[in-house]
Amino acid sequence: MTTPPLTRREEMAVVAARLLRPKERVLVGVGMPNLAANLAKRLHAPDLVLIYESGILDANPETLPLSIGDPVLVRDALATISMLDLFSNYLQTGWVDVGFLGGAQVDRRGNLNSTVIGPYDHPAVRLAGSGGAADIAACAQRLILMLPQDRRHFPARVDFVTSPGHPATGRRPDGRGPAWVVTDMGLYDFDSTGEMRLRALYRDETVEAVQAATGWPLAIHPHPTRVPPVTPEEYRALRALQQARGGPRR
Amino acid sequence: MTTPPLTRREEMAVVAARLLRPKERVLVGVGMPNLAANLAKRLHAPDLVLIYESGILDANPETLPLSIGDPVLVRDALATISMLDLFSNYLQTGWVDVGFLGGAQVDRRGNLNSTVIGPYDHPAVRLAGSGGAADIAACAQRLILMLPQDRRHFPARVDFVTSPGHPATGRRPDGRGPAWVVTDMGLYDFDSTGEMRLRALYRDETVEAVQAATGWPLAIHPHPTRVPPVTPEEYRALRALQQARGGPRR
Amino acid sequence: MQWLSAAEAVSEYVKDGQTLYLAGFTHLIPFALGHEIIRQRRRHLTLCRATPDLLYEHMIAGQVADQVVFSYAGNPGVGLLPVFRRAVEQGTIGIQEWTHFEMVARLAAGAAGLPFWPLNTLDNELTERRPRPRVQSPFTDDQVAVVPPLVPDVTLVHTHAADDAGNLYVDGLLGDIREAVLAGRQVVASVEQRLPAAQIRATRLTLLLPAFRVASVSVEPWGAHPSYVFGQYDRDTAFYRDWDERGRDESAVESWLDEFVYGLASRADYLQRQPPGRLSALREAAGQ
Amino acid sequence: MQWLSAAEAVSEYVKDGQTLYLAGFTHLIPFALGHEIIRQRRRHLTLCRATPDLLYEHMIAGQVADQVVFSYAGNPGVGLLPVFRRAVEQGTIGIQEWTHFEMVARLAAGAAGLPFWPLNTLDNELTERRPRPRVQSPFTDDQVAVVPPLVPDVTLVHTHAADDAGNLYVDGLLGDIREAVLAGRQVVASVEQRLPAAQIRATRLTLLLPAFRVASVSVEPWGAHPSYVFGQYDRDTAFYRDWDERGRDESAVESWLDEFVYGLASRADYLQRQPPGRLSALREAAGQ
């Protein structure tokens, strides 16, 4: 049996999973956040409460769902509730600890674009739009963002602010907003002024390479570290999750 | 087996039941309306949709419930929904055809008091209050009221307007409001100005007696009739309903 | 979420001067928890309930409340509430009165963290006495009445079951329960039974509230008596009927409280004091 | 409530120029009814859905729509919606865009007959482009954002079952369905099956909408394919994945519509055209 190394994209999921704490309530977005949250639940945070904007409370999927409304998410969930109930009585009232989002562009304040590339009225690429992302960004206690890093995904200015990050004037006064950005080059937090800041690099990345992939002069933590390597346990959990993906239901 | 004649109170239930049309959606109040609505369902209106403010949709009680939240109402109901859902999405939006209420006092405009006898701040008798009555009076397509008739129950002015009737200026402009009042002396409708009007008398009542039991100069329909006598079928249905009351569950 | 006895839960979470909502509309009224509040002699509470019911009769007689916030102060299917009535007529308790729709709308605003809840109903004498502001719609000419949120310090609730994690489940009449638990800053629950989640999913029970919003759960069989738990035991209508007379006599109320609340250490003792056969008849009536 | 074929229901209730909401979030998407609208060549519709999904891909390609009102125009778990994307990028369709919370809040306002619905979220670039007014709370200093009601002329929905009276029942993911059916002026439903009420009550199905609010019901097995009916058949993820490529090619879309919509008289024909074994595999995946 071969054991191929993780792709950088898979390593992102491991790094993001580590940011989730036991028992937290995570509103899980489409795509990579979904992989990362399900991974955390199989590692250090088995009591993680996975919430999906389709109205699924405390999902315990046997296999990795393709979408956020898949039957595998419903089968062993604690409950399905209406989206109105979820957004009004859980998200709006601050019961979601972590909003976990992907997107097409992020800027230095953590503003996230998932709406459009180019002008809104004459789009070069019309993307999917907010879904619940703008609501989640507004109301979750803290946000974890996941994007691949290059000048296209990290422009000086996002083409559209779908989900607002920290204001230009400083961190969000309510203590919420973007907390972490996980990319395929490094891990970022936000400093006391609400500016995105390099916190750790993957083993083979350099500050220079990261800066070159970023559309603005990047803030750097006084003591940036290296992302700890993927452990054998993390590796096995990720592979198991992916092999179950799309497989037949037991 | 003896067949005692109906009490006048029981006859009121028969008269009120006749006012309900097949398939109507009736929001049923505590007490006599409950008897009348359940009677109609066993006579000419088997498809009557009984709704109770506790959140019961389309009740089909085997026996007469004591209260509007009794288990017998829940057992064969189509569904139980939250009171918020019921009041917001059914009552408020005009889906209730008939509001069916009792009370302690009614006046010539159909204003209903179920809150207090005497001044609100220094009550002679503190009654139960609105419950859903004020909401039902505001939103149901038409109201049927049931009260015993005497000068205490029919004062010139109610001590408190719990559930508003027709404005002093005329009938309610939205076409809603009190449509019928059923008492132990007669049956009343409301004329084009929104004034309560004698429509029919029980067989042994006189206009003089009715006027004497009323705290204001009573309007009288140009051609008042007699309430048709209780039919054998109505008699049997009422007795069967009452005998089942409080009996053991089959 | 902690598993506590009812006595521990009340001791830990219910404090003098708080605003409480003891949820349940005819169904699932948390008598065990309410009686515990009386036994621990809490004072100066604001007691909110759409229908004060006999539970608040007991609590008013137990002098725990300064104020009652309510919408229907009747003895369901029987008549009035004699203890409440006496307190209001004699001015020994404050009241704040709403319609049912207003009460649940206030809870809904509390549940959603909104500063008001809009509703489309007519004004009446209550809204004249306690003005109900109107808000102009920015989209149309409509004005709509609004009520303020109700956010209880503690919502107390009794449900059919909790699973091992402390998730709460119910069946049957919902009434105001869902909005009341969602609105509470803390939720203190008692349950008929604790069951494994897998066993619960095989029934018709549905989730009321996830464990992460529940402060404590106490296993209290018959915790809703003399109200009922749908499918478990029926309403004790004899108790409700008898109260109509008992409640009019202050000394009868006192001796009832002495016998069934103050003089007892727990709910188990309360159940032992019930007339022979009464509880089993209520189980049978529920089809058990 | 009438029992109609899907063709009759669309013919009777769906008119050119109307605002429609075809409900269902990933789950229970009413493909049979939507395809019937294409087949009957309705025009100038305003199509509302939180997630346009492949159903609105088909309907946009079928030229029934002037405008799409939505909050997430993605192919769930796969990527974007190529037909929608092309129409927007080329300016051949109008859009009105919201967040998920705003969409369901608009439906909630429609369902409750309210002139607006309040919500506590931040402004963003969408709310700058399409100003979202704020309303001052009369009780506190708070201002709260409000969105206008959404009242579809017709809400179309697919559910697990209807009983003989036409009451609609569902299980599993609710998404936006409940608010969408409550908000619609008319509700046109298709169902997997018609069952006696007594049989339904023995299952975990719950009431979605009482018959008195339903205009018509059509029995359409597999009426949600390629989306799913929880417990009946799973999502046809292969179809969703394949669409990512097929949808990019206008002529491929045209020939798909010719083969699976225009060229067919009914849903039964559609089912016969599915690749062998595909439907039975979806049933098995759902544990049937």
Q: Are C13 and C154 in contact (CB under 8 A)?
A: yes
- Average pLDDT taken over every residue of chain A: 94
**What are the phi and psi torsion angles at C31 (to 5°)?**
-65, -40
Q: Is B82's pLDDT higher than 80?
A: yes
What sign results for the dihedral spanned by CA atoms C29, C32, C33, C38? positive
Q: What is the end-to-end Cα distance of chain B in Å, rounded?
A: 23
Interface test mutation site (partner D, options B25, B89, B91, B92, max chain D beta carbons within 10 A) = B89
Percent over 70 (pLDDT), chain B: 96
pTM for this predicted structure: 0.97
CB-CB under 8 Å, B93 with D207: no
Euclidean distance between CA atoms D106 and D98, whole angstroms: 10
CB-CB under 8 Å, A135 with D108: no
For B126, the closest of C89, C119, C174 (CB atoms) is C89
Q: To the nearest whole angstrom, how far is the Cα of D60 from the nearest Cα of chain C?
A: 29
* pLDDT tens per residue, range A43-77: 999 999 999 999 999 999 988 888 889 999 999 99
CB-CB under 8 Å, B78 with D112: no
- Report the pLDDT value the prediction gives residue B248, as an integer from 0 to 100: 37
- From the candidates B10, B11, B24, B53, which is the catalytic residue? B53
**Is B53 in the active site?**
yes
A92 touches chain C (CB under 8 A): yes
Which residues on chain C are in Cβ contact (under 8 Å) with B69? 25-27, 76, 173, 175
Q: Band of the pLDDT at D288, cuts 50, 70, 90? A: confident
- Report the pLDDT value the prediction gives residue C149, as an integer from 0 to 100: 98
Q: To the nearest whole angstrom, how far is the Cα of B49 from the nearest Cα of chain D?
A: 9
Q: Band of the pLDDT at B63, cuts 50, 70, 90? A: confident
* pLDDT tens per residue, range A170-223: 999 999 999 999 999 999 999 999 999 999 999 899 999 999 999 999 999 999
ipTM at complex level: 0.97
Helix (H) or strand (E) holding C170: strand C168-170
What's the 3-state SS for D162-210? ECCCCCEEECCCCECHHHHHHHCCEEEEEEEEECCHHHHHCCCCEEEEC
Nearest CA in chain C to A95: C213
Nearest CA in chain D to C105: D112
Number of C:D CB contacts under 8 A? Answer: 56
Q: To the nearest whole angstrom, how far is the Cα of D120 from the nearest Cα of chain C?
A: 7
Number of B:C CB contacts under 8 A? Answer: 172
Is the bond preceding A229 in cis, omega lying within 30 degrees of 0? no
Range in A41-55, A116-130, B59-73, D231-245 the model is least confident about: B59-73
Euclidean distance between CA atoms B138 and C120, whole angstroms: 9
Which parts of chain C sit beneath pLDDT 70? none
Q: Is B164's pLDDT higher than 90?
A: yes
Q: Band of the pLDDT at A242, cuts 50, 70, 90? A: confident
Which residues on chain D are in Cβ contact (under 8 Å) with C231? none
Helix (H) or strand (E) holding A99: strand A98-102
Short-list A140, A135, A138, A178, CA closest to A49: A140
User: Token pair for residue C146?
Assistant: 């609004």
Q: Band of the pLDDT at B245, cuts 50, 70, 90? A: low
Show which of residues 48-77 on chain A sit within 8 Å of chain D, judged by CB atoms.
Answer: 53-56, 65-71, 74
- Report the pLDDT value the prediction gives residue C24, as an integer from 0 to 100: 96
Which has the higher per-residue pLDDT, D183 or B66?
D183
Q: Is D151's pLDDT higher than 60?
A: yes
Which residues on chain D are in Cβ contact (under 8 Å) with C144? 114-116
Q: Are A222 and A236 in contact (CB under 8 A)?
A: no
Short-list B208, B187, B184, B206, CA closest to B197: B187
* pLDDT tens per residue, range B185-223: 999 999 999 999 999 999 899 999 999 999 999 999 999
B199 touches chain D (CB under 8 A): no
D113 touches chain C (CB under 8 A): yes
Nearest CA in chain C to B80: C173
Number of A:C CB contacts under 8 A? Answer: 29
- Average pLDDT taken over every residue of chain D: 97
Q: Is D76's pLDDT higher than 80?
A: yes
CB-CB under 8 Å, D207 with B79: yes
- Report the pLDDT value the prediction gives residue A2, as an integer from 0 to 100: 55
* pLDDT tens per residue, range D96-117: 999 999 999 999 999 999 999 9
Q: To the nearest whole angstrom, how far is the Cα of C201 from the nearest Cα of chain D?
A: 10
Which residues on chain D are in Cβ contact (under 8 Å) with B48? none
Name the neighbours of B, counting chains with at least 3 Cβ pairs within 8 A. C, D
Q: To the nearest whole angstrom, how far is the Cα of D109 from the nearest Cα of chain B?
A: 9
User: Token pair for residue B31?
Assistant: 């007490």
Percent over 90 (pLDDT), chain D: 96
Percent over 90 (pLDDT), chain A: 87
- Report the pLDDT value the prediction gives residue B250, as an integer from 0 to 100: 31
The mean per-residue pLDDT over the stretch D148-174 comes to: 98
Q: To the nearest whole angstrom, how far is the Cα of D263 from the nearest Cα of chain A?
A: 30
Name the neighbours of D, counting chains with at least 3 Cβ pairs within 8 A. A, B, C
Q: Is B244's pLDDT higher than 90?
A: no
* pLDDT tens per residue, range D229-257: 999 999 999 999 999 999 999 999 999 99
